């Protein structure tokens, strides 16, 4: 049985995929220091906002960042991103749970080819 702080098998692939890109790891590093809005983050990383949105979406899907709508002093709506606290522990058991084993697949019915 995996320890309580192990990455749940269902989350493992998403977390690894989200952190498997250097730009996304840079985003995590920046957000560790401070939450910020998309435009500032794009300037800090020297990437376009559309590219940044793709990376932020992957991090959000993995549950590593959250966003909220905030308003500037002049009334402009700004999408603000913050890092969510996380402390995942990768274990062999978590890796094993994250894959579909042949034993867990249902057997095909007689006469049906899959």
**Model confidence over 63-82: pLDDT tens digits?**
999 999 999 899 999 999 99
pLDDT at 91: 84
Tell me the per-residue pLDDT of 38-50, one tens digit each, with 9 for 90 and over: 999 999 999 999 9
Return the exposure string of 102-114: e unless at least 16 CB atoms fall within 10 Å of the residue's CB, then b. Answer: eeeeeeeeeeeee
Which tokens is 65 given? Answer: 């960042």
Give the domain 9-89 fold.
Answer: Arc Repressor Mutant, subunit A (1.10.10)
Domain boundaries, the chain: 9-89
Integer Cα distance of 54 and 19 in angstroms: 13
Integer Cα distance of 8 and 90 in angstroms: 9
Average pLDDT, rounded, for the chain: 84
- The pair phi, psi for residue 39, each rounded to 5°, is -60, -45
Decide if pLDDT at 100 tops 80: no
pLDDT band at 1 (very low <50, low <70, confident <90, very high): very low
């Amino acid at each position: 049985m995996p320890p309580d702080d192990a990455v749940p098998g269902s989350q493992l692939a998403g977390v690894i995929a989200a952190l498997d890109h250097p730009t996304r790891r840079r985003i995590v590093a920046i957000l560790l220091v401070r939450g910020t809005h998309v435009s500032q983050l794009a300037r800090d990383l020297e990437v376009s906002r559309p590219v940044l949105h793709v990376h932020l979406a992957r991090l959000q899907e993995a549950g590593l960042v959250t966003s909220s709508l905030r308003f500037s002093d002049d009334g402009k709506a700004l999408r603000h991103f913050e890092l969510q606290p996380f402390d995942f522990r990768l274990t062999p058991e978590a890796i094993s749970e994250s894959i579909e084993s042949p034993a867990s697949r249902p057997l095909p019915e007689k006469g049906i080819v899959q």
